[in-house]
Amino acid sequence: MYLNHIVEAIGNTPLVKLNKVTEGIRGTVLAKVEYFNPGNSVKDRMAFKMIEDAEKAGLIKPGGTIIEGTSGNTGMGLALAAIAKGYKCIFTMSDKQGKEKQDILKAVGAQVIVCPTDVAPTDPRSYYSVARKLNAEIPNSFYPNQYDNLSNTAANYESTGPEIWTQTDGKVTHLACGVGTGGTICGISQYLKEQNPNVFALGLDTYGSVFKKYKETGIFDETEIYPYKTEGIGEDILPQNVNFDLIDMFLKVSDQDAAVMTRRLAKEEGLFVGWSCGSAVHGALEYAKEHLKEDDILVVVLPDHGTRYLGKIYNDDWMREQGWL
C-alpha cells in the first residue's frame, strides 16, 4: 500500500477530543488537527484545488509560475502542488511572519519576497501589490489569489466539511474556526449547514481586524485596523471567500490570550500547534462556557503546526519580552 505522490496524503485528518483545557465546559469539544496534512496545514487542501481548478480552466500551462501573497501555509500547499505538477513558485510575504515560514518555503524550492506589513493593501510595496505586479510581468504566471478565489471555499466544502460530518456521525452542533481568507470556515459551514441548518458557526477574529464589526454593523470601519501579532487570521480587507451569511457570530481574541492557549494545547493536550489554533480554542471555549449544552459537540479547527512558531510563542524569552509569561 503506497501513495503515488505525497499530495495524495492531503485530507482525512484526525478529530481529537480536548480533555484538559475544556475543564468546566459542558458538552464535547473536538479538534480537527490539520497539521496532519503533508504541508502541516489546512491550506494544503485549498492550494491543491486552486491549482487543479486553474489547470481545468486553462489558466496555467506546463512550466508556468505560481505567484501568491501568503503567510506561509498556503505557500507550502502551493509548493507541494507545484512539485507534483511541475511549476515554479514565487511567494510574497509580509515581514511580520516568522522567519521559519520563509525558510520552510525556500526548502521546498520556492522563491520568497518579503514585503512591509504596515502599509495599506493598495500601497505598491504591500505583499498583495507586489504579487499582482509580478503576475502582470512574468509570462505564463498564475496568481491564485486565495482571498477571492472561490476554489478555496470549495476545497473545504468538498473535503473538510464532509470529514467532520462523518467523523461526528452527523452529531456536530457547533463549528469554531479562525477567519483569514474565510475559505476554511465558509466551506465547512456551508457543508454542515446543508446537512443540518441548526449547526452554529463561530468565527474567531483578531483585535486589529475588520470582520467582527462588519458582521455586526455592515460597516467597513478603518479605525478597526491596526497592527497585531497573531499570524494567519484577521484581515484589513473583505475577501470574497468570507461569506458573512455562513458565519453566525464573531469573537475577537487577543494576541496574548491566543499565545497562552496555544502553549497550553501543547503542554496539556500534546497538540503542538500554531498560534491561530490558540485563538480558535480560546474563543471557542469562551463561547462554550456560556452556550454549550451537555449533548452539544463543538468542532474547532486547528489550522497548522507549532514548528512555524518556535522563534515566537514557543520561545520563553520572546514571550517574556511581550510581557506574556
List residues binding ligand PMP (CB under 6 A).
43, 71, 73, 178-184, 231-233, 274, 276, 303-304
Nearer to ligand PMP, 64 or 80 (CB): 80
Residue whose Cβ sits closest to ligand PMP = 232
Residue 140 CB, shortest distance to ligand PMP, in Å, is 27
Residue 125 CB, shortest distance to ligand PMP, in Å, is 20
Let me know: does 182 contact 155? Beta carbons within 8 Å.
Answer: no
Nearest-CA neighbor of 214 among 181, 233, 185, 236? 236
DSSP letter for each residue of 170-201: T---EEEEE-SSSHHHHHHHHHHHHH-TT-EE
CA distance 173 to 151: 25
CA distance 293 to 97: 38
Q: What is the CA radius of gyration of the chain?
A: 19
Using DSSP's 3-state secondary structure scheme, residue 287 falls into helix
Residue 103 CB, shortest distance to ligand PMP, in Å, is 16
Residue type, 20: K
Sign of torsion, CA 21 325 272 173?
positive
Residue 88 CB, shortest distance to ligand PMP, in Å, is 22
Nearer to ligand PMP, 27 or 243 (CB): 243
Residue 271 CB coordination number (10 Å): 21
Cell of 223: 479605525
CA distance 14 to 28: 16
Cell of 153: 471555499
Residue 244 CB, shortest distance to ligand PMP, in Å, is 13
Nearer to ligand PMP, 263 or 296 (CB): 263
The catalytically annotated residue of 32, 43, 101, 212 is: 43
Nearer to ligand PMP, 34 or 269 (CB): 34
Nearer to ligand PMP, 65 or 149 (CB): 149
> Does the annotation count 293 as an active-site position?
no
Count of alpha carbons within 13 angstroms of residue 311, beta-carbon side: 9
* Catalytic annotation, residues: 43
